[in-house]
């Protein structure tokens, strides 16, 4: 009906106990959210910084392993326990190793390819010839003899396993972890790097059994099937004034990668052996199940920040009008008396455009009458 109009605010004080309690309850809930959740629980008045960390690890201790073929025992020291060698920020501790020694490049049968006749075997020179051996296996070019993983007493492959795991992993084999982390933006001290080696009361020596136990995987299962674990040195540092640098201490957290156990790997050692016709290329092939540990140092630091305090204050001021908006909406659309509330809330004025036209017409009429009177006089 009206194409051109202007809306303005009007303050109406509605005397209703329900509306007053509801509005006060919403304001109280917002206040509890700001103070209890944002400020106390989430500590949003503090600035946070994610740190850049480094870690160094090594093993300490000694145990023994036993051959499944003849029962011989072998000492398992640190070089043996970290085969095939320590990686950057990682360790591999083999618990069951299958070794096939003195392999030579030759034509040999492949148990993974059974056959009845030559047509059953693929012909892909120079690796596969399409020949079926009398034993019912295809002949292929490869390292012979083939490694046998499912035969503990095989005459070809020797299986050695760590012994007395429950005791040795708790009492004999220890993991040393040295970690550091840097917070260049928030650290108030001159030395902005925090380390487990700078005198702080941080634990750096862990029994290997405890490390596995923190992942939630049973030790016997991890030793039998192998396991891939992510070991995290998690820092949570409070850098507020009055706090000592030694209060920044990391916690050891262990997670199974992929959420389950099972890890195995293979490697080979190549060498040459002198023969009557020269030198022959040979290798020793190893297949191992064990504990693969990947280490990381990460965390965050927090510190009271004026900018965050001001920001949270503005957030609180912006949320308070939500209580009035919610009360208005419920008042006008949910309550039984909504029609009466709306009459007080929304008021339509007379059309001042018509009033203005009538006033102008009256002014013109009065002016015309005055001119006539002046003319007669």
Within 13 Å, how many C-alpha atoms sit on residue 14's CB side? Answer: 23
324 within some domain: yes
Stronger pLDDT, 27 or 202, i.e. the higher one: 27
Residues 314 and 169 in one domain: no
pLDDT at 321 exceeding the cut of 70:
yes
Q: For the chain, what is the mean pLDDT? A: 80
- Number of structural domains the chain divides into: 2
Q: What are the C-alpha distances in Å from 132 to residues 72, 78, 109, 136?
A: 38, 45, 9, 6
Stronger pLDDT, 213 or 358, i.e. the higher one: 213
pLDDT-derived band at 17 (thresholds 50, 70, 90) equals: confident
pTM: 0.67
pLDDT at 304 exceeding the cut of 90:
no
> Strand 90-114 relative to strand 52-60: parallel, antiparallel, unpaired?
unpaired
pLDDT at 362 exceeding the cut of 60:
yes
* Torsion sign, CA atoms 260, 172, 152, 112: positive
Domain range for 285: 47-304
pLDDT-derived band at 157 (thresholds 50, 70, 90) equals: confident
pLDDT-derived band at 153 (thresholds 50, 70, 90) equals: low
Residues 55 and 158 in one domain: yes
pLDDT at 95 exceeding the cut of 80:
yes
Q: How far apart are CA 236 and CA 160, in angstroms?
A: 42
Stronger pLDDT, 242 or 275, i.e. the higher one: 275
Residues 197 and 321 in one domain: no
Name the least confident of 130-144, 182-196, 250-264, 319-333.
Answer: 182-196
Residues 241 and 329 in one domain: no
Q: Of 275, 304, 333, which residue sits at a domain end?
A: 304
> Strand 227-238 relative to strand 278-304: parallel, antiparallel, unpaired?
parallel
Select from 253, 234, 304 the least CA-distant residue to 51.
234
In CATH, what number is assigned to the domain containing residue 107? Answer: 2.60.490.10
Instruction: Give the SS3 label for residue 324.
Output: helix
Residues 54 and 139 in one domain: yes
207 within some domain: yes
Which of the given ranges, 39-53, 168-182, 348-362, has the highest pLDDT on average? 168-182
Average pLDDT, stretch 71-85?
A: 77
Residues 270 and 332 in one domain: no
Residues 252 and 125 in one domain: yes
pLDDT of residue 42: 76
DSSP 261: -
Select from 328, 327, 326 the least CA-distant residue to 345.
328
Average pLDDT, stretch 183-211?
A: 75
Average pLDDT, stretch 309-329?
A: 81
Name the least confident of 29-38, 208-217, 368-377.
Answer: 368-377
Average pLDDT, stretch 253-273?
A: 85
Start-to-end C-alpha separation, the chain? 49
The answer to whether the bond into 145 is cis (omega within 30° of 0) is yes
368 within some domain: no
């Amino acid at each position: 009906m009206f194409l051109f109009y202007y809306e303005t605010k009007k303050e109406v004080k509605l005397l209703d106990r329900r509306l007053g309690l509801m509005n006060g309850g919403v304001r109280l809930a917002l206040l509890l959210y700001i103070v209890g959740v944002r400020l106390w629980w989430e500590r949003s008045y503090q600035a946070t910084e994610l740190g850049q960390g480094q870690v160094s690890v090594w093993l300490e201790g000694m145990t023994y392993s036993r051959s499944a073929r003849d029962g011989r025992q072998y000492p398992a020291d640190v070089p043996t326990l970290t085969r095939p060698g320590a990686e950057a920020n990682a360790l591999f501790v083999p618990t069951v190793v299958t070794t096939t020694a003195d392999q030579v490049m030759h034509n040999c049968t492949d148990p993974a390819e059974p056959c009845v006749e030559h047509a059953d075997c693929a012909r892909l020179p120079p690796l596969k010839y399409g020949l079926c051996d009398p034993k019912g296996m295809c002949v292929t070019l490869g390292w012979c003899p083939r490694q046998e993983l499912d035969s503990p007493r095989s005459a070809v492959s020797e299986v050695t396993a760590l012994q007395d795991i429950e005791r040795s992993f708790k009492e004999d084999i220890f993991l040393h972890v040295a970690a550091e982390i840097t917070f260049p933006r928030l650290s108030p001290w001159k030395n902005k790097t925090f380390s487990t080696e700078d005198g702080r009361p941080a634990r750096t020596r862990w029994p290997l059994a405890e490390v596995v136990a923190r992942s939630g995987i049973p030790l016997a299962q991890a030793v039998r099937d192998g396991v891939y674990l992510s070991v995290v040195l998690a820092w949570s540092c409070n850098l507020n004034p009055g706090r000592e640098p030694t209060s920044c201490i990391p916690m050891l957290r262990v997670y199974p990668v992929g959420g389950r156990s099972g890890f195995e790997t293979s490697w080979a050692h190549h060498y040459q052996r002198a023969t009557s016709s020269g030198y022959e290329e040979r290798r020793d092939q190893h297949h191992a199940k064990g504990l693969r540990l990947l280490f990381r140092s990460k965390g965050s630091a927090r510190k009271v920040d004026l900018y965050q305090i001001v920001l949270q204050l503005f957030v609180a001021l912006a949320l308070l009008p939500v209580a009035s908006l919610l009360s208005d909406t419920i008042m006008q659309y949910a309550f039984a008396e909504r029609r009466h509330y709306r009459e007080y809330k929304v008021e339509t004025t007379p059309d001042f455009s018509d009033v203005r036209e009538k006033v102008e017409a009256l002014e013109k009429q009065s002016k015309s009458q005055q001119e006539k009177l002046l003319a007669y006089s």
